[in-house]
Amino acid sequence: MNMDDLKLSCHELSLPVTEKCNPISRDIDRVNGKQMVQILRRCDAEIFEKKDHDPFHQRLYSSAVIQTMVDVAKRVEMMLRDPEESVIVLSGCGTSGRIAFLLTSFNEMMKAQKQKQICSYIIAGGDRAMLTSQEAPEDDPALGAHTLEKICAGKKHVLFIGISCGMSAPFVAGQLDFCLQHLDIFTPVLLGFNPVHMARSEPMQGCSFHFKDVAERMTAEQRHEKAFVLNPVLGAEAISGSSRMKGGSATKIILESILLAGHEAAFRGKRTTPECISGWITASEMVYETTYSHSDELAALIHQAGESLRMKAHVYYIGWGTLGIIGLTDASECVPTYGADFDDIRGFINNGFREMKNKEGDLSCLGPEFVIGHKDFVDTILPSLSQNDMVLFLFAVNDDLHEVTALADQVRRRTSNLHAIAHDLEKFTIPETVCNMFGTILRITWPFSSEEVNSVVMRQRWELSTKWCLNAISTGAHVLKGKVYMNYMIDLRVSNSKLYTRAINILQRFTGCSKSECVRALLRAIYSTEDLSEDMTSADVWKHTDAANRRDRVVPTALVMIQCGCTLTEARHHLDCHPVIRDAVNACFNSSKTKSTVD
């Protein structure tokens, strides 16, 4: 191993698991759609990996993790038995908040039993964060605590589940800290995917403690069963740091298992045991196997979506019910993850906000990103739809198939680039006439009985399956468009402190330079100057992210400046000559290699 390789692996070792580079997907930017599906399949398989493959970390199936899930499920049971005085709050930022919102569909199970609906969600930045990225509130611990306090006013028992995949979000840390100060009322649970010693230890706005302190205090309280830390390791994400993928899926799997087990115990007298928890996880593993067994159709959909994006056309997800929410979520995440325009990949749901049932109601007046109904699609998009635009329907056999057929008919009059992801049952299948309306149809016929047709459980499995498919399609399409270099999204928006740290890590990773050199280059790009003033260098991270949020291509600019030893203007010129980020980075590495050979 030479010195550079050694430096690189030391740097990689210092990163938390959720920020590491996954060796499985190192070449994802150089493969075709079919190979991409296999890479994503192997990365997702790590969610379910047994502990024997990884002696160093707790995994999802580890007995300690399962036992903590049992303990938390018992708390859910207690809350359900005393609904008047209790509330279960699920909270997170970005994807974690969106999954929290989705999980409140658990209320439907209580409604079906004429029980009080006690599940509530918090997403940093409010409901608008469901469709657009509101990353600045994520950095505000006081805002997190205040929002939680408000929602729980008057309750005697609160089960608070704070989700932060990277164990890093200050908003969630503030809430957990608040719970730890009021353990008579609150039982806090931290859900994340790093060992506690890898939780973030950088300062937080206006706070004397950091995330890791909170995680350690939580661990100490766990000994008295006053708090719980659920932090199995899932392996690195397929696109480094993109916790919307494995992190989001595992959040859904873990919390659904806990809520269902608690529900079964409270209403069906079924005691929660480690066996029943691992049974729920195994059911999700079956969903994983079944979904990826349709790899040919998935590869075809990735290819198609990649073509649309490459031609600067659009991908539209047209979903029904909660599958529509999965579509909206996946589409909106492409903006912060890939620097996409909001209309590159866009989601629509039947009945718009009425179907979402979010707390703040209809947000359509907030701007075009919030226009989400099928009717809006028909009125505003359909008239100008072109053959290059891809339309992808997301539905299940118990959705209104007349509505599906009628809308598909309308779309087909404008384009044949119409495809679907559809779920049905062995005893209750979607008619062939409906299936034949789509070019590629990824149709999964699930082996459940027809009594389960309306059950929340089955819907949750279809949601998970659709999430895996859409994550693969939107990730694959952006990789094919050239947005990713190796398995790094280099052109990330540096809009909060976690992403600021990731930007510096990426620069260190690719240039081999010291942290301080990388910070300087990043700040030059952020403040658009060759001469950094004292004010700029001494400002805190939040000032940097505020400025960076208003500027494009900051990380690629810094990377080119360091690698080619050039000025800001030269770096920007280089990037202008190579609009595809992967080509720009490649060219920059090639030119610096030639330069050093000549030198």
Please report, as ranges, the residues that interact with ligand F1P according to CB under 6 A. 92-96, 135, 138, 164-166, 168-169, 243-244, 498
Torsion of CA 122, 125, 131, 132, to 10 degrees: -150
CA separation (Å) from 594 to 508, 577, 598? 21, 19, 6
Q: In the complex, what is the shortest distance from the CB of residue 595 to ligand F1P, in angstroms, rounded to a whole number?
A: 34
Q: In the complex, what is the shortest distance from the CB of residue 241 to ligand F1P, in angstroms, rounded to a whole number?
A: 6
Q: Pick the closer one to ligand F1P by CB: 240 or 304.
A: 240
Q: Pick the closer one to ligand F1P by CB: 130 or 381.
A: 130
Q: Pick the closer one to ligand F1P by CB: 91 or 272.
A: 91
For the chain, give the number of residues: 599
Q: Pick the closer one to ligand F1P by CB: 80 or 165.
A: 165
What is the arrangement of strands in the sheet containing 418-425, beginning at the earlier edge strand?
345-349, 315-319, 390-396, 418-425, 441-446
Distance CA 505, CA 15 (A): 8
Distance CA 26, CA 386 (A): 35
Q: Pick the closer one to ligand F1P by CB: 122 or 300.
A: 122
Q: Pick the closer one to ligand F1P by CB: 164 or 557.
A: 164
Among all residues, whose Cβ is closest to ligand F1P? 94
Q: Pick the closer one to ligand F1P by CB: 101 or 395.
A: 101
Q: In the complex, what is the shortest distance from the CB of residue 458 to ligand F1P, in angstroms, rounded to a whole number?
A: 27
Q: Pick the closer one to ligand F1P by CB: 70 or 490.
A: 490
One-character DSSP codes across 428-454? BPPPHHHHTT-SSEEEEEE---GGGTT
Q: Pick the closer one to ligand F1P by CB: 143 or 401.
A: 143
Q: In the complex, what is the shortest distance from the CB of residue 474 to ligand F1P, in angstroms, rounded to a whole number?
A: 13
Q: In the complex, what is the shortest distance from the CB of residue 124 to ligand F1P, in angstroms, rounded to a whole number?
A: 8
Q: In terms of Cα–Cα distance, which of 257, 256, 252 is closest to 276?
A: 257
Provide the token pair at 565.
Answer: 């030893």
Report yes or no: 555 and 506 within 8 Å, Cβ to Cβ: yes
Q: In the complex, what is the shortest distance from the CB of residue 49 to ligand F1P, in angstroms, rounded to a whole number?
A: 20
3-state secondary structure of 74: helix
Q: In the complex, what is the shortest distance from the CB of residue 424 to ligand F1P, in angstroms, rounded to a whole number?
A: 31
One-character DSSP codes across 125-141? T-GGGGTS---GGGG-H
Distance CA 599, CA 581 (A): 27
Q: In the complex, what is the shortest distance from the CB of residue 246 to ligand F1P, in angstroms, rounded to a whole number?
A: 11
Neighbours of 590 (CB within 10 A): 10
Q: In terms of Cα–Cα distance, which of 376, 165, 176 is closest to 253?
A: 165
Q: In the complex, what is the shortest distance from the CB of residue 17 to ligand F1P, in angstroms, rounded to a whole number?
A: 12
Give the per-residue SS3 of 278-341.
Answer: HHHHHHHHHHHHHHHCCHHHHHHHHHHHHHHHHCCCCEEEEECHHHHHHHHHHHHHHHHHHCCC
